[in-house]
């Protein structure tokens, strides 16, 4: 179980929802008072903390957790808009295991949360592998192979492929991909998705047709049983398509 302390209702609710959709048990709290009561009932496996909270500073919460023998070893990630080097150094030196600044990609957050849970011994790496046809992706190791050959991807290309692979055959609009992979505060438009799909297809080479364009809607990862002709010759597709 991951506990997330964040006073912004929209961010907290969307993040908890996204983690649950990734198969990660999560619960959100708007303030330290609610969080403290929950910890008294059940010690979490990992904690996500905003720094700027209405009742108690997130760094103070972290220090309290580290001072309590019951929670001293619980992995902690700071999720905050404070993005200076000094902020990060203070948090990490103060006991945080990870630090992620807003806006953040929900896919990257889920991957980091799995790493936190592994650190606490709650996730088995063997089950943390996605396989669709010849494409095999390991979120925990941030590795992709295609027909046994290693594929080098950028952070966003990896997150995009992972998101599509988690639900092969499901069609995602560009807008939903932007929100889930790039984060709700991303300033770029839907063409960002088209560009990343195009470069991802180029790197997939002869397996590029695995990422199908659904015209007028968005993209999906072809299920292995779909064959090669589900959308025709799609590999050069539609960076210009709206």
Residue 220, CA distances (Å) to 17, 45, 167, 184 in order: 21, 33, 8, 21
**Structural domain count, the chain:** 2
Residue 29 tokens read as 């709290």
Beta bridge pairs of residue 29: 5
Percentage of the chain modeled with pLDDT above 70:
86
Q: How confident is the model at residue 240 (pLDDT cuts 50, 70, 90)?
A: very low
Range of the structural domain that residue 76 is part of = 1-118
Sign of the alpha-carbon torsion through 202, 194, 140, 131: negative
Beta bridge pairs of residue 21: none
Q: Is 108 inside any structural domain? A: yes
**Average pLDDT estimate for 23-50:** 90
83-133 pLDDT, tens digit per residue, is 888 888 888 888 888 999 888 888 888 888 988 888 765 544 444 688 898
Residue 152 tokens read as 């080098």
CATH number of the structural domain spanning residue 197: 1.10.10.10
200-239 pLDDT, tens digit per residue, is 999 999 999 999 999 888 999 998 764 444 344 343 333 3
Q: Are residues 54 and 147 in the same domain?
A: no
pLDDT for the residue numbered 187: 62
Nearest to 176 by CA among 165, 190, 187: 190
What CA–CA distance (Å, rounded) separates 101 from 110? 14
pLDDT for the residue numbered 236: 36
Q: Are residues 11 and 102 in the same domain?
A: yes
Inter-residue contact 73 to 91 (CB < 8 Å): no
Q: Are residues 141 and 112 in the same domain?
A: no
What are the residue ranges of helices labelled H in the chain?
9-21, 32-41, 58-67, 85-93, 106-119, 155-165, 174-177, 191-204
Residue 81 tokens read as 């808009």
Percentage of the chain modeled with pLDDT above 90:
35
Q: Is 15 inside any structural domain? A: yes
What CA–CA distance (Å, rounded) separates 71 from 142? 29
Classify 12 in phi/psi space as left (phi over 0), alpha (psi -120 to 50) or beta. alpha
């Amino acid at each position: 179980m991951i506990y997330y302390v964040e006073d912004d209702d929209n961010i907290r609710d969307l993040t908890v929802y996204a983690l649950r959709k990734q198969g990660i048990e999560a619960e959100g709290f708007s303030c330290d008072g609610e969080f403290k009561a929950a910890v008294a009932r059940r010690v979490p496996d990992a904690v996500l903390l905003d720094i700027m909270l209405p009742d108690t500073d997130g760094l103070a919460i972290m220090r309290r957790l580290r001072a309590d023998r019951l929670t001293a070893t619980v992995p902690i990630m700071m999720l905050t808009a404070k993005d200076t080097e000094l902020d990060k150094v203070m948090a990490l030196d103060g006991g945080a295991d990870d630090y992620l600044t807003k806006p953040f990609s929900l896919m990257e957050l889920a991957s980091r949360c799995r790493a936190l849970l592994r650190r606490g011994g709650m996730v088995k790496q063997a089950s943390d592998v996605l396989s669709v046809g010849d494409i095999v992706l390991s979120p925990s190791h941030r590795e992709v192979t295609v027909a046994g050959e290693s594929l080098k991807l950028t952070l966003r290309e990896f997150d995009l492929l992972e998101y599509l692979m988690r639900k092969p055959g499901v069609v995602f609009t560009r807008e939903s991909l932007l929100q889930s992979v790039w984060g709700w505060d991303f300033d770029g438009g839907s063409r960002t998705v088209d560009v990343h799909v195009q470069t991802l297809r180029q790197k997939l080479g002869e397996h590029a047709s695995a990422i199908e364009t659904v015209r007028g809607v968005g993209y999906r990862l072809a299920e292995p049983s779909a064959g090669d002709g589900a959308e025709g010759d799609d590999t050069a597709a539609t960076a210009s398509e709206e």
